[in-house]
Structure 1
Amino acid sequence: MINLLRIAAASFAASIMVTGVVVAEPQRFELERGDGSTIHWSLDMPENGRPKGVIVLAQGSGCLSTEHNANLRLIRSVFPVFAALTVEKYGVKPGDNPTADHEDCSAEFRQHHTMTQRVEDYLAVLSRLRTEAWWNGGLVLAGGSEGGDVIARLSAPAEADATILISTGGGKTFGEMVRQSIMDEMERHKVPEENRPPVDQIFEQARANPTGTEIWAGSSFRFWADAIDHRIVDSMLQADTDFLLVQGGRDTSTPVEMARIVADRFSEAGRCNLTYWEFPGLDHGMADAVGTSRMSEVLVLAASWAEQRLASDAVSCVRP
């Protein structure tokens, strides 16, 4: 049975407060990739007491360092008793803060950044962390948009206990979702057909040149070739992880029907490890119709959901 819930934004905000718990300064670490390049990663430990587990905080698109990512700080604030792991993308160094974080990226980022690479980097770091005596094995993954796609792929090989995906959609391939988002935007602004971007043509060029560094819509052909034919729900169905999928009904970047398809696929497969929350009044960034961010409130609810899953110490369901 899938847990489905539609929540009005105003109905939960008044009763939720983000609690402040002291955490130590994040520690920076390095790990070498097989090609000799460096994985930069950070670990933020609770200042007092043994961590309840590890939470992986996966950033969205662009080349901004995790150290400057406000959404990751928000997620970390509602998981104060966990050790928080962040991993920089290939070609991003700690502290990088470009003025335009989709355009002013390094050559290394353009040449190597893909979602597959991110999954490999997370797995390498997690393998290193599993040797630590303080880790009880509990693992939560959290991310949105591109970060949601990454942690969906990561869930099965990392054997995550719980995964939180925000504004991720997932019911169609990444390329189909991008195409629909762009074309919906063109329709809203009544852009003539002849002036619309040649999305399908660009994707074909990327498939034909999967290591290309040419840039389209802020990402390289290498990135697009790796991403466009991947469907998030397929990765989710390969895992026994408990999933929480959070979607805003006003999201124009990831249309709400994409998330509903995920719920339908889980139901058709007889799976019971998906909880789906739909907030009709919220957008891609969890802001309401007047522009007020509800992200903190949503994250508090998500943290409570995750802690319940870890506390139950039981697999919610298995694949048929």
Structure 2
Amino acid sequence: MRWKAIFVASLLSLSSLALAQSAPTGKIFRYADGGSATYYQFQPSQEQSQSSDTYIFFYGGTGCVDFKPYIPKFFSGLDSNSTIFALNKRKVEEGSSPNTCSPEFAKFDLPQQWFSDYMEFITEELGRAKIKPKNVVIVGISEGAYPAVKVARSRSDITNLVIIGDGGGWTMRKSLEKLTSPSYVQDGWATIATDSGSTTRTWLGRPYRWWFDIMDIDSLPDYLSLNIPILMGHGELDQGVPVESAIALQKAFQAAGKSNLTLHIYKGADHTLTSGQVSNRESLFAELSKSLKH
């Protein structure tokens, strides 16, 4: 079925973006349990300042995507006085290919691991800051929205949340039912349930265990619990997460009488907010940078 190829491509779409010409060398973050992950730290300006009043933490992208090839182009639009941290998942080394995820990677590529790793990384980096940043922003990309909103809810030091390519109003199951059909998803779930702990058997390109853990995560209560500004960008033609999911989130905020969500739906844009040859991420990030100055 053609939609299956489109869906898988959408989930892995970070790897299809135009590559940058240069990027900082990766650093190694060591977790308390002995594990480690590669991350990148940089400022958008070539003339880096000694201190920064804004820390921006990026996380996301389905599969074993290394952030390095997309620095700094993916982050265009962000203010030069921001310090950006882009954290790879565990077992994603600097220079690794998104098409060759290792068996070890699959064992750690799970929502609860994303959350705990992201929490530990942010705590450590904020603790290292010589001057406490005025703004601490979390950016969740695609599946990275799951840990991003959960981290934002779990911490008191996050000032802003930005979400790209994940609506938040629907579960993965409901999004898949919209993209395919309820019967197709039900059949797939029955297959997954036969070996739900497997990290080697796959459905739609992802391990059974990944699907089992992520399929019914409901992030709506996490979003509604937040009072910090939430900036969300969604492509009108997103084939990975239906735009209706973002619209459902917006309606839920309106029903709750909350006004801290700003949703931009980009006409003709895909999962990465790209419309043809135009990236709408730059305008989204520019809006974020402008809001942080007020």
TM-score bucket (shorter structure)? 0.7 to 0.9
Distance 2:91 2:23 in 1: 26
Aligned-pair CA distance for 1:33 = 4.2
Q: Note the C-alpha offset of 1:135.
A: 3.7
Residues 91 and 107, structure 1, Cα contact 8 Å, conserved in 2: no
Q: Aligned partners of 1:89, 1:156: CA distance in 2, in Å?
A: 21
Give the equivalent residue in structure 2 for 1:286: 273
Give the residue type in structure 2 aligned to 1:140.
V
2:264 is paired with a residue of what secondary structure? Answer: strand
Q: Alpha-carbon deviation of 1:280?
A: 2.8
SS at match of 2:145: helix
> When the two structures are superposed, what TM-score results if normalisation uses the length of structure 1?
0.74
Name the structure 1 match of 2:289: 307
State how far apart, in whole Å, the 1-side matches of 2:143 and 2:93 are.
19
Counterpart position of 1:6: none
Structure 1 position 210, deviation (Å)? 4.5
* Residue number in structure 1 paired with 2:15: none
Structure 2 unaligned spans of 5+:
1-21
Unaligned runs of 5+ in 1: 1-22, 185-196, 313-320
Map of 1:142 onto structure 2: 139
Partner of 1:114: 110
Separation of aligned partners in 1, 2:273 and 2:164: 9
Whole-angstrom distance in 2 between the partners of 1:153 and 1:204: 28
The structure with higher relative contact order (CA 8 Å, sep 6+) is 1
1:117 and 1:259, CA in 2 relative to 1: closer, same or farther beyond 3 A?
Answer: same
Name the aligned partner's letter for residue 56 of structure 1.
Answer: F
Task: Provide the residue aligned with 1:15 in structure 2.
Answer: none
Q: TM-score, normalised by structure 2?
A: 0.80
Which stretch shifts more, 239-248 or 256-265? 239-248
In the alignment, what sits opposite 1:63? 64
**Which deviations, in whole Å up to 9, do the C-alpha atoms of 1:132-190 show, x marking residues without a partner?**
21341521122332123332222212442112212212211112213322449xxxxxx
Cross-structure match for 2:12: none
Are the aligned partners of 1:162 and 1:309 in contact in 2 as well (CA < 8 Å)? no
CA offsets 1:287-306 (integer angstroms, 9 cap, x no match): 33xx32x22xx233322332
**Cα distance change of structure 1 residues 255 and 198 upon mapping to structure 2, 3 Å threshold:** closer
Give 1:261 deviation, angstroms: 0.4
Question: Cα–Cα, structure 1 residues 242 and 180, in superposed 2: closer, same or farther, change >3 Å?
Answer: same
Aligned to 1:277: 264
Aligned twin of 2:212? 225
Instruction: Pick which of 246-255 and 105-114 moved more.
Output: 246-255
Is 1:250 the equivalent of 2:237? yes
- Which runs of structure 2 are paired with 1:3-152 in the superposition (5 Å)? 25-26=24-25, 28-34=27-33, 36-45=34-43, 47-68=48-69, 70=70, 73-79=72-78, 80-98=80-98, 100=99, 104-131=100-127, 132-152=129-149
Matches within 5 A, 1:164-243: 164-183=162-181, 198-206=184-192, 209-213=195-199, 214-243=201-230
Give the letter aligned to residue 228 of structure 1: M
Structure 1 pair 251–27 and aligned structure 2 pair: CA distance change class (3 A): closer
Question: RMSD across aligned C-alpha pairs, in angstroms?
Answer: 2.6
What is the rounded CA distance, in whole Å, between the counterparts of 2:181 and 2:292 in structure 1? 40
Q: Indicate the SS of the match to 1:130.
A: helix
Q: How many percent identity over aligned positions?
A: 21
The 3-state SS of whatever aligns with 2:274 is: coil
SS for the counterpart of 2:248 is helix
